[in-house]
Structure 1
Amino acid sequence: MGEKKRTLRGFLCAALGGVCWGASGTVGQYLFTCQGVDSGWLTVVRMFLAGVVLLGGALVRHRPQLRAIWSDRRDALRLVLFSVGGLMTCQYTYLAAIRYSNSATATVLQYMGQALILLWVCLRARRLPTRREGAALVLALLGAFLLATHGSLTALALSPQALFWGLCAAVSLMLYTLLPGDLLRRYPVSVCTGCGMFIGGVVLLVLTQAWRIPVALNAAVALGTLEISVVGTALAFTLYLQGVSDVGGVRASLLACTEPVSAALCAALWLHTSFAWQDLLGFAAILVMAVLIALPERASEKSTEKAEN
């Protein structure tokens, strides 16, 4: 595949992955607020189901690569770190943030991780952010500030729990994007994500003892859980990680800013979640940031790619 087509595919996959995440986040909000579903239980179930779907596809299409990744001790260790430190924590903290706020606000708080990613890349490459990247960082901070405080320097517009889990989700986003490294370039996305989801689900099952959490199963809970597992997890993470593989972690994470937009639209149209003008301004700042980062200066591209690997 040519470089231009690969880049275009990466842009589209990252953006579509964000849309799937945003829509499923609103489904999660519905399950928490209207059905009383526990966030820990939902995280375990979605990771298990998504892992089974992706591993099933990997067994059919990529059996040799699936065997190879576990044959290399170094790759296997990195995969486990990615599974627990990246996928599992990203899933759990994001849903916990939604539980204490709403899907759109939790999403934007999570995207503070973009600032951490850029700072880490610059540190590894031993360079300062470019002007465009610097402006994007400022806009990211401004957007998150407006959502968290509505512009007030003395009071939070969010509960302490929502802010805590949102910031934890931001750190998790950074780890999730950077931990896989070159695994995604050497192994199919379905292999890495499928194994990661299944391993993360097993570890979280033990940590939360999800089998003891009472859940009132009905048609709405079953359908919502299925949507979150297949569309919002298996499909979304596969698309996003393909974007990471094609265009790099920095670009992919920022192109996936379609997530807060889709989350806000779904929450407003379906659950009638209201947003203040400060929220809308924060969303706008995040979108402008994504545009600024989508086409980084050529002088920094090589150093950025090296730092990500």
Structure 2
Amino acid sequence: MSRYKSGVLFTIIGALFWGLSGTCGQFLLQFRGVTSGWLVSVRMLSAGLVLLLLCYKKEGKAIFRVWKETKDRLDLFIFAAFGLAFCQFTYFSTITYSNAGTATVLQFLAPVLIMAYLSVKNKKMPRAMELLAICFAVAGIFLLATHGQFDSLAISKNALVFGLLSALSVVIYNLQPARLIKTYGTLLALGWGMLIGGIVLSFIYQPWQVIGTWDMPALLSLAAIIVLGTVVSFSCYLEGVNRIGATAGSLLSSAEPLAATFLSVAWLKASLDWTDALGIGLILSTVILLTLKPKTAAGIAMAPSELIQ
């Protein structure tokens, strides 16, 4: 399997597990009384510790080498605080001032921002397939999130600001950790990023104050969020982005609501109408478009490691 195709596979797996995580989160939030802030802080702290333990088993004390250079420490903190943690915080803040559908639509402005940034940086026009994929992805997400009701985007100023910041944070964690991942590997960079991000969030949402009703389904859902929806999903996604580029990676992550929709219908008995089906079709079209082999002389779907000299 080529580097590009394996990158597509990694990215899709990561997005699918994000979808699973979102559905498990919905279960905890709606049926077990857990709050979003507490869930995010616990998720990041737990996943960070698990990842670092895995890295320590393989590399020993070498996992601390990322702290030796000032530039690495600064990049790691930016990735953790303004990428991972800030993304979670602004996303859930957008939901607070509006709804999950609006928050998702605003966050998926990220591919457009990434495309614009890379086009200017590399002085290259996007490929026609990439432009078409962006249109399909945005349209698909819009239909899944709003069911085609334009009036659902009538949002407050706070929701708009937090939503745009959420999209910006997605750009940051797609592009910013490229050098860290190239130097230290995906798992180590992600492990420290998750742990630091969780610590930052703990100043806002205290994980030691346990909230909600806990039984076996709740515990299994939390485990799925931490292990599959965080450790596995972020690792696969960032490795995929490292192979296929931030633009393609951010677009393929639209498989997340695809998985979440199916799981919500099958598990939580959510309804599925024609707008959902059309949105799913558009997202699947995006995946097909981005699996086509990119030209080397044009386009901007390159690995992030190629963006930083």
TM-score, with length taken from structure 2 = 0.85
Matched, 1:297 2:307: no
Matched, 1:134 2:131: yes
TM-fit CA distance, 1:70: 1.1
Number of the residue aligned with 1:279: 276
Alignment counterpart, residue 259 of structure 1, candidates 247, 256, 260: 256
User: 1:275, 1:167 → 2: CA distance?
Assistant: 28
Number of the residue aligned with 1:63: 60
Number of the residue aligned with 2:3: 6
Contact 1:30 1:271 in 2 (8 A): yes
Between stretches 116-125 and 72-81, larger displacement belongs to 116-125
**Correspondence list, 1:82-93, <5 A:** 82-93=79-90
Which residues of structure 2 form unaligned runs of 5+? none
Q: Which amino acid aligns with 1:299?
A: A
CA RMSD of aligned residues (A): 2.9
Alignment counterpart, residue 54 of structure 1, candidates 51, 54, 64: 51
Matched, 1:225 2:222: yes
**Correspondence list, 1:178-257, <5 A:** 178-212=175-209, 214-257=211-254
Q: Deviation string for 1:90-109 (max 9, x for gaps)?
A: 3344556678756x886565
Alignment counterpart, residue 122 of structure 2, candidates 122, 125, 150: 125
Contact 2:246 2:301 in 1 (8 A): no
Identity %: 36
User: 1:173, 1:92 → 2: CA distance?
Assistant: 12
TM-fit CA distance, 1:234: 0.7
Matched, 1:27 2:24: yes
2:177 partner SS: coil
User: 1:263, 1:163 → 2: CA distance?
Assistant: 24
TM-fit CA distance, 1:235: 1.0
Contact 1:86 1:172 in 2 (8 A): yes
Between stretches 46-55 and 109-118, larger displacement belongs to 109-118
Distance 1:106 1:285, change over 3 A: farther
1:156 partner SS: helix
**Correspondence list, 1:159-170, <5 A:** 168-170=165-167
User: 1:265, 1:196 → 2: CA distance?
Assistant: 30
Contact 1:37 1:215 in 2 (8 A): yes
Q: Deviation string for 1:81-140 (max 9, x for gaps)?
A: 0011111123344556678756x8865654332222222211211233222222222223
User: 2:213, 2:72 → 1: CA distance?
Assistant: 40
Number of the residue aligned with 1:156: 152
TM-fit CA distance, 1:200: 0.3
Between stretches 212-221 and 57-66, larger displacement belongs to 212-221
1:207 partner SS: coil
Distance 1:163 1:282, change over 3 A: farther
Contact 1:251 1:294 in 2 (8 A): no
Q: Which amino acid aligns with 2:42?
A: V
Q: Which amino acid aligns with 1:217?
A: W
Q: Deviation string for 1:217-276 (max 9, x for gaps)?
A: 333332221210111001111111111222222222223332221111101111111233
TM-fit CA distance, 1:185: 1.4
Q: Which amino acid aligns with 2:152?
A: L
Between stretches 212-221 and 131-140, larger displacement belongs to 212-221
TM-score, with length taken from structure 1 = 0.85
2:298 partner SS: helix
Q: How many residues align?
A: 304
